[in-house]
Structure 1
Amino acid sequence: MVVQNDFENASIAIDSIALGKVSTVNKLVEAAKIQQLKQQLELHGFELLETEEAILSDAIKTEILNFVAQADMESEKLSVYLTHKLHKDYGVLSKHFSKYNDSTIERYLIKLKVEKAKQYIREGRFNFSEIAAQLGYHSLSHLSTQFKKETGVSLSEFKSNPDLQRNTLDKIL
């Protein structure tokens, strides 16, 4: 609703709108309208992706988020998942992501898994071994090592310190 209102306030007709994607009736060419729309979207925590590179980068991030959100990450490799979802060779996706984000897909995946582990710890629904399994780790020690490397604290330290917070998804890269 917020995004739709921002487009309407900028007098830009929407063809379709879905999570993370808006198609307009006409191509946006008027610089003043584009600037107004950008400012409105930014006020509400959104951004306007204008280039094909930005759009592809965002699509890769979205699919990695979806991959981490699925229940069983062990059933499929991320490279196969991304290739299937985005209909592009993984090598192309990987190079593009690294160039556009100054990080690798694998690094981003690790950061997302650590944030998901933080979420699970705060929810208290799973013990550490269950969290490791949920996130596709073959052992608790592997999760523990990555968690400590990313956060500087152990899983137990994070659990016992309520002042330690999760990072928002837009702050991960």
Structure 2
Amino acid sequence: MELYIKNMVCNRCILVVKQVFEQEGLHPVNVKLGEVELEKTPNSKQLEAIKTNLTSLGFEILNDQKRKTIEQIRTTIIRLIHAGELDDNHKFSVLLSDTLHKDYSYLSKLFSEVEGITIEKYVILQRIERVKELLTYGELSLSEIAFQLGYSSVAHLSAQFKKTTGFNPSEFRKQKDHHRKPLDNV
């Protein structure tokens, strides 16, 4: 049995969700961003406890197929950008279609209708959050960040960063409050 979980955005989320299931005596076969695979189906009491515990932690079990697809799009984009799984020739439209086994035009239309922004804008917002994170760490140059996130140039990254945040990357680095958003709020 597979369950889809909303708002899983990092490895810590995977650990927390796994613990919730284990507390109810269910030992997931696999837990990854947005999905939990179980060997056996939970009984109604276990499922209710899981829902309550997940909700208290900011997660939600998704039952509607459209919402499941939206969450799969979100978690795929987050995984690709934040876990460094982009390849040199990445096109999000192709990667999403291949990963979700659905036509990109369907995915794009569905995402826009439900989320109120395009997939392309969501990708930009996620990339900018990743740039903010990397700038905060101060371990990579802007050129290395641009390369890692697939920008065509430092100038392109800087222009997109300024348009989205109101700051250029240098100004952002100098700030004490870096105005970062939790990934599930992007």
Q: TM-score range by the shorter chain?
A: 0.7 to 0.9
Answer yes or no: is the 8 Å Cα contact 1:158–1:164 preserved in 2: yes
Identity %: 37
Answer yes or no: is the 8 Å Cα contact 1:73–1:134 preserved in 2: no
Answer yes or no: is the 8 Å Cα contact 1:83–1:89 preserved in 2: yes
| Residue 26 (1) aligns with residue 41 (2) | yes
Aligned residue in 2 for 1:166: 180
Answer yes or no: is the 8 Å Cα contact 2:20–2:53 preserved in 1: yes
Following superposition, which runs of at least 4 residues in structure 1 exceed 6 angstroms of deviation?
none
Residues 95-154 of structure 1 show CA distances to partners (whole Å, capped at 9, x for unaligned) of: 111112111110010001101111111121221122112211112121111111211211
Aligned residue in 2 for 1:64: 77
Structure 1 residue 41: Cα displacement:
0.5
Residues of 2 paired with 1:50 and 1:14: CA distance?
21
Larger-gyration structure (1/2): 1
Structure 1 residue 17: Cα displacement:
3.9
Residues of 1 paired with 2:137 and 2:108: CA distance?
33
Aligned residue in 1 for 2:168: 154
| Residue 121 (1) aligns with residue 141 (2) | no
Root-mean-square deviation (CA), in Å? 2.4
Task: Give the letter aligned to residue 54 of structure 1.
Answer: R
Structure 1 residue 34: Cα displacement:
5.3
Give the SS at the match of 1:75: coil
2:91 aligned residue (74, 77, 90): 77
Aligned residue in 1 for 2:109: 95
Q: Relative to structure 1, is the Cα distance of residues 3 and 134 closer, same or farther in structure 2, using a 3 angstrom cutoff? A: closer
Q: Which runs of 5+ in 1 are unaligned?
A: none
Number of residue pairs matched?
169
Residues of 1 paired with 2:86 and 2:46: CA distance?
44
